[in-house]
Amino acid sequence: MISQRSTSDLSQPASTLAKMAKGSEKSSVPPSNSADMCRLPGSVGSASAASRFLTTPRLQDGYMTPSETQVESRSAFGHGRFQKTMLLCAQLATMLAYSYSFTLLFIDLEPVEHWCAPPQQFATLSEQTWKEIAIPRDSNGDFKQCERYEPLDAPASLLAASTSQAGDPATPNLEASTQPPVTIERTNASEVRCENFAYKPDTPGRNAIARWNLVCDRSWYEGLLKAAYTGASVLAIPCVGLASDKFGRRPVLLWASGLVVLSGLATCVASSFVVYALLRCLSSAACSAIEVISFILLFESTQPGPRAPYCALAICWPTVLAPIYVAALAALIKNWVMFNLMVLLPSSLLLVTTVLVEESPHWLLVSLRFEDAERVAVYAARFNDEDTDRVRRRIDAIRQAATINKPGGRATPLLEAAKRSLAATVVCGGMAYRSFVLSVAWFTLFLVYYGGLATDSKTLSRDYELAKWVVVIGNAPAMAVAYFLVKHYDHLSAIIRLMSTVAMALAFHAALVAFELSLPLTVLIMWVNLLLNITYVVFSVETVEMFPTEMRSVGFAGAYMWGRLGATSANAVKDLENQLNGSAKALPVALCALCLSLSSLMLVTLSNEEAPDAAVMALMWNDERQKEAKH
């Protein structure tokens, strides 16, 4: 075994080292069948080549280093503050991404009460008097928000009284409760669209709708902005994944962090809606990039024991804190500049942690950048209070073992992974079908989350608002459940059960709508959304595990992209729902339930997925080990 060798073994010939590595595998790794040997490095059911070299239990002296434990310590540079800094970086990145999404959807574009603003000659009238004189009513008796009467006509005595009151500082304008009803003959008046708008006096200055008059004829800008915000992420994230796999995780993270800070600061002084929309789109793309890359960096820098729980914590805490943080800012701060600066606050902490974290050691090994891998390992060792000399010896052993040619001139799996193209990895490693199933599941999950419940009726608006806050409060126990599932249960099995449960809940909701039965909407929304939040956490951890290091960023970014497309497609579901009446409103909900059920069935096939044929693997990669396994 490796732990029984002396340091002088490092100077032995390559053939001896190869035998040592082979003997170590036999003694420390449980025996596996030929199907397991055929799997791609890093795929589900097998350990990646980089992980095997990086996570040897011990080296020459056989003693544990300061940060090691009896059960978990297997990494070349220990486990401690380095991984915790990675975790903090991932949490801040996710917190920032969630905060921006909540800000756009619920704060910037929060609906506001508005009506036609009075011309200058009527500016002295009180709000209620102006409405009685100039604003028509709809069929429900409410004042219309986008029309007024033309020509405008008011009694001269009323205007004179209003003028005199406006000139008297001790007498405010008459309120609706102190003014008698105003009756005006409008025989010749017609309704015209508003030229300018007035807003409720307590409308905060941070509201983008009031700031740029995104109402009535300009209300379509709101939908365009939401689509552009999501579209920017959809377009950027595949490029981010490719760049991360080619140039490294950390450079992409640094660039994206700088971009989100610059765009956030510029948003504070945006002078027009076009500038504001462009900056929000840049922020969306940058936030998506740092969310995805920091998550992958955490996964690849943490040893197998605490890896999945750490990744779960990177999502759980922001899910709980982000809506509370944004809601608290909205309640306390009404100013546009101050509010946007405070939303950007996590990015300042993110920049600090981004400087402290280092490149993924797994990616460096797969890329055959051994000098950089040693530098990162030594840096991490100092963070974790490890013996740097021992770490250097470990990395040197990894370097030599990884570059030894096997009998017949074959290279190690690590070298093969570096030489394979992305297309070869996808086609030959069984990644094509896996990527397809995951993309469908992510698309469906987001589609259901944003468009799976019938909540468009105005009569349900109060229950819907209440349900959102119930979900915010319920996120704390829900995230505790998600963490427990990630730490103690099979991820894929938990995902399938959760998605099946949500599908049944949606089918039940569709039946209620179809037969016009009553059920408190708050209960249903809370139940479904909390289950989907739990599913998202477990699914994110499972997805990042399903791809090998050489294409992990592309694979995870692709799944994330399809999820965002599903969120965008949810608008079509809501539009379809709004066009239907009565029992027909159950149709979109039933379709969402069906899609979710089919997605869960497709995920079942991944749990039973067999490795590609050994002969095909040997043909594509000329792997002599696979040929031997076939016999």
- Cα separation, 370 vs 447, in Å, equals 43
Give me the average pLDDT of each 10-residue run along the chain (631 residues).
38 40 40 38 35 38 36 54 90 93 86 85 80 82 83 57 46 42 60 85 83 88 89 93 91 93 92 92 94 93 86 94 91 90 90 88 80 82 76 73 55 54 58 87 90 54 64 88 93 92 88 75 78 94 87 91 90 78 80 89 77 34 35 36
- Cα separation, 26 vs 460, in Å, equals 64
- Cα separation, 37 vs 267, in Å, equals 53
Three-class secondary structure of residue 192 per DSSP: strand
pLDDT, residue 427, reads 56
How does pLDDT run across 443-473, given as a tens digit for each residue? Answer: 999 988 887 665 544 444 555 566 677 778 8
pTM (2 d.p.)? 0.76
- Cα separation, 351 vs 261, in Å, equals 9
Tokens 């030599």 correspond to: 400
pLDDT, residue 415, reads 54
The CATH architecture of the domain made up of 431-611 is Up-down Bundle (1.20)
Cis peptide before 151 (omega within 30 of 0): yes
pLDDT, residue 239, reads 93
HSE-up of 279 (CA within 13 Å, CB side)?
Answer: 17
How does pLDDT run across 497-522, given as a tens digit for each residue? Answer: 999 999 998 888 888 878 877 666 66
pLDDT, residue 480, reads 94
pLDDT, residue 263, reads 93
Q: What separation, in Å, do the N-terminal and C-terminal C-alpha atoms of the chain show?
A: 27
**H/E segment holding residue 580:** none
Tokens 């640094």 correspond to: 254
Fold adopted by 77-112+203-355: Growth Hormone; Chain: A; (1.20.1250)
Q: Which residues in the chain are classed under CATH 1.20.1250.20?
A: 77-112+203-355, 431-611
